[in-house]
Structure 1
Amino acid sequence: QKRNCLICSSSNSECRLGIDCCRACAVFFKRIRASGRIPEECFYETGTCTDDGMILSCRRCRYDRFLEVFRKAEKDNQIAENAEDENENDQIPELIVSTTDIDPEEIKELEIKSTTFIDHNTFMLQLPSSSTSTPILDKIRWNYSLMCRTRKTAENGTKPAAFHLEQCDYEGTKMNFVPMTYSMAVPNARIYLSALYDFANQTFPDFANLDAENKESCITASLAPVQLMDNTYRAFHFFPDDLDTFLASYSTTISEVSLSTYLDDCPDIVNIEDVTEAIKVNIQRGKSMNREVYHRIKPDNVEFTALLGLSFWNNCVAYINEELSTAVNRNREVILKELNTVYKARGNTQYALRLGELFCLLDSFQENVTISTQESELFKLHNLFKDQN
């Protein structure tokens, strides 16, 4: 459906940064936020470039227009939350979000969740409560932790016994990372794929009710965005001061330094130099588009659960068919509503700009996913990763 960009009024067919916004304007806003250099004055010294049709020529008025749209979206969301809809309970009983005052104890619990890293042990601490004001975010948190345990156990099961003995990891209470090699890539990718199916089935009623074909389509379109968000979140925790090291799977890392041995166990006859250079470019792009952006915005652990849910219900899933489009819109709306509830519980009512930053992060990640998907065809030409899915 064709719409107009809310910033420059040009024709637009996609939602970016959580609003109807064209690609050019979205890039403009992301660059401003990334640099931290907000334009000081109107180019024409009138402050009316939006009304005069000169908004593309004035960086200050263009930026101010973004702030105006974000504030209006925040206000409209507040009105929608306060409006009574007598049919709402019949429409989405599993996803309903309480708009009543949050209990002080729950506020304390939200603060703990915000500062507690989610790993393969988190799910054992507390079951998700049915009375919480953020049921979907809590289910994402709990089931993501369970997915972490599944991946850790499965990946470590592919390693020799000597690995566990040398690392003294008897109780599974710490992470022992090893450099990724080619032979690990496909098995670990399959483990993630299987774990993501279980995560989605247990977390989202809409996904659980899909037929097999739509489930497969949904997982195929969401796998890369979810995996990238997941790996970046964990890399931010384990390697906060080393933006050159990436998590390739739950228990393996990759960096330009480790590339020298990455293809040592590759059974296929490939041009090692060309493939190594292509992977190096991928790593460098991941640093600028993912690690650095995440490091700058620093989502807390609750915001991460929202980002993970939004990565799963992404635009590529919505484009598949009408049924999935409806599911995407509904789940994204609920996730954002619950995130708004979290901000209000913290006393942060001016959260429009923060949401804009999170959507900038999502857009940057999705752009990298798109580029990486195109590059994967190059690897297949080199007989690499053909059996990954």
Structure 2
Amino acid sequence: MADQLCLVCSVHTKHAHLGVLICRACKIFYLRAESRQKPLICRAGTNKCEIVVKCKKCRFEQINRLVKGIGGVRKKEEKSNECYSEPSTSRNETVYDEEREDIPKIARFVCGHSLDARLSLLERVRSSYNTMNLSRRAAELSSLQPTLHPILTFHDAYPLKPATIASLNCTMRILITTLFDFATSAFPEFSSLSLHNKWFLIKNFHQSFWSLESAYRVYTLFPNIPHFHFMSLTTYCSYQSALSFCDIGDKAPHIVEATGRHLRSYLKGDVQKCRNAITNAKVTEKEFLALLILCFWNVDNTSADDSLIPLGVSHRSKILEELQEMYKSEGNSEECATRIGEIMSIVIVMQTCATAMPMKLEMFRLLDIFDDDTTIYQLTKTGMQPPL
């Protein structure tokens, strides 16, 4: 592996450490900081230092996000600078928060690791995603009232309609139903899970999926339209259409105006963050599919049942290995660690925006725009029953 820059301190390094592209000095610093009893304190007091190497707290947090972002599982490295070897079955070879023995090792970030079946998971997810979208498209076009003046049109000539509260309620139910079909088709293990665990995965995934899919579709279809968000396959919200989102005739004008104002703030804030993450990374179709898998199984630091944790680690490991093989086949093996680091940072952006969504939805609830039966609001609560 040629010299590359450490993702934390930007010094040259020939090897990845702790599963990510960081130098040996950052690895040693992280391990020592992780084991210390006295907590680190940010020099600036903000926990957001731009030059992280000058602040122990921010340096540690950045490394921690990179390491834990790939599953919270880490191989205990040897003292040498050798690349990772094949997985070992020894109990002491892997570390997990609760010393679980059934957690498989996370994917290697050093390129060149061969696979028995290349891209099989990507191919399965692509087929499942395309099939899901056929169902979504048919259901949306048959359920939503057609508009007399469609604003935009896809290259395959079906109209895009400005979203309203009524259309969002309908399309979100369609999305949740088809996500169950997608998961069953894409991940064979999903069928054997309990209904509780299935529903947990879908609820945990749907918001990241909603943001990720929209950002990728805008990037590929309408890259020059600012403040634009796909609310579903066939509906959208833009800066111009935000004021028409509140389609309930008996609402006071100031409520309608407040709704549009909050939507515009969302378009300029979280929507733009997700869009920038996809655009700046120039995400390809295969990388988008990989992101679907990573977001679906991103269950660490949640209230997920213990049985879901090893499944999540296993699927993330598989897809990261497939990405490595893809980059190697495309002649980008020397940059694959950096590229995978970029992909993992997108997962963090999507999860951050998803975590902030309940508060934004609560604002609509307080404005009496959403009620307890609004689908997207219910998904942040416990009362909605799975569509099975």
Query: TM-score surpassing 0.5?
Result: yes
Match of 2:294 among 304, 307, 310: 310
The equivalent of 2:130 in structure 1 is: 145
The equivalent of 1:226 in structure 2 is: 209
Please show how residues 19-38 of structure 1 align to structure 2 within 5 Å. Answer: none
Contact 2:49 2:55 in 1 (8 A): no
- Whether 1:381 and 2:381 are equivalent positions in the alignment is no
CA distance in 2, matches of 1:332, 1:68: 13
Match of 2:322 among 325, 329, 338: 338
Q: Tell me the number of residue pairs that the alignment of Structure 1 and Structure 2 aligns.
A: 313
Contact 2:277 2:346 in 1 (8 A): yes
CA distance in 2, matches of 1:207, 1:380: 33
CA distance in 2, matches of 1:57, 1:264: 48
The equivalent of 1:174 in structure 2 is: 157
Give per-residue Cα distances to partners, 1:206-227, cap 9 Å, x unaligned.
Answer: 2121011111111111111112
Residue ranges of structure 2 left out of the alignment (5+ in a row): 1-25, 90-101, 104-111, 379-388
Match of 2:239 among 256, 276, 283: 256
The equivalent of 1:111 in structure 2 is: none
SS of the residue corresponding to residue 236 of structure 2 reads: strand
CA distance in 1, matches of 2:121, 2:260: 41
Shift of 1:266: 5.7
CA distance in 1, matches of 2:265, 2:126: 33
CA distance in 2, matches of 1:160, 1:186: 13
Contact 2:160 2:234 in 1 (8 A): yes
Match of 1:238 among 221, 224, 231: 221
TM-score scaled by structure 1? 0.67
Contact 2:176 2:206 in 1 (8 A): yes
Aligned amino acid, residue 246 of structure 1: H
CA distance in 1, matches of 2:332, 2:49: 25
- Whether 1:133 and 2:133 are equivalent positions in the alignment is no
Contact 1:221 1:317 in 2 (8 A): no
Shift of 1:362: 1.4
Residue ranges of structure 1 left out of the alignment (5+ in a row): 13-21, 33-38, 44-48, 86-90, 93-98, 103-130
Over 3 Å counting, the alpha-carbon distance change for 1:223 and 1:346 in structure 2 is: same
- Whether 1:290 and 2:274 are equivalent positions in the alignment is yes
Percent identity of equivalent pairs: 23
The equivalent of 1:300 in structure 2 is: 284
SS of the residue corresponding to residue 239 of structure 2 reads: coil
SS of the residue corresponding to residue 322 of structure 1 reads: coil
Shift of 1:384: 3.1
Give per-residue Cα distances to partners, 1:49-100, cap 9 Å, x unaligned.
Answer: 7xxxx653998x9999999999x99x999745x5688xxxxx99xxxxxx99
CA distance in 1, matches of 2:312, 2:62: 29
Contact 2:274 2:349 in 1 (8 A): yes
CA distance in 1, matches of 2:153, 2:317: 45
The equivalent of 1:324 in structure 2 is: 308
Structure with the higher fraction of residues in helix conformation: 1
Give per-residue Cα distances to partners, 1:165-195, cap 9 Å, x unaligned.
Answer: 99999xx933421111121010010000001
Shift of 1:264: 3.0
TM-score scaled by structure 2? 0.67
CA distance in 1, matches of 2:298, 2:313: 9
The equivalent of 1:56 in structure 2 is: 56
Over 3 Å counting, the alpha-carbon distance change for 1:163 and 1:173 in structure 2 is: farther
Aligned amino acid, residue 279 of structure 1: L
SS of the residue corresponding to residue 178 of structure 1 reads: strand
Alpha-carbon RMSD across the aligned residues, in angstroms, is 4.4
Shift of 1:319: 3.3
Give per-residue Cα distances to partners, 1:131-180, cap 9 Å, x unaligned.
Answer: 951111111111111111111111101234676999999xx933421111
- Whether 1:275 and 2:224 are equivalent positions in the alignment is no
CA distance in 2, matches of 1:280, 1:154: 28
Shift of 1:293: 1.9
Contact 2:47 2:57 in 1 (8 A): no
Over 3 Å counting, the alpha-carbon distance change for 1:62 and 1:192 in structure 2 is: closer
Contact 1:243 1:291 in 2 (8 A): no
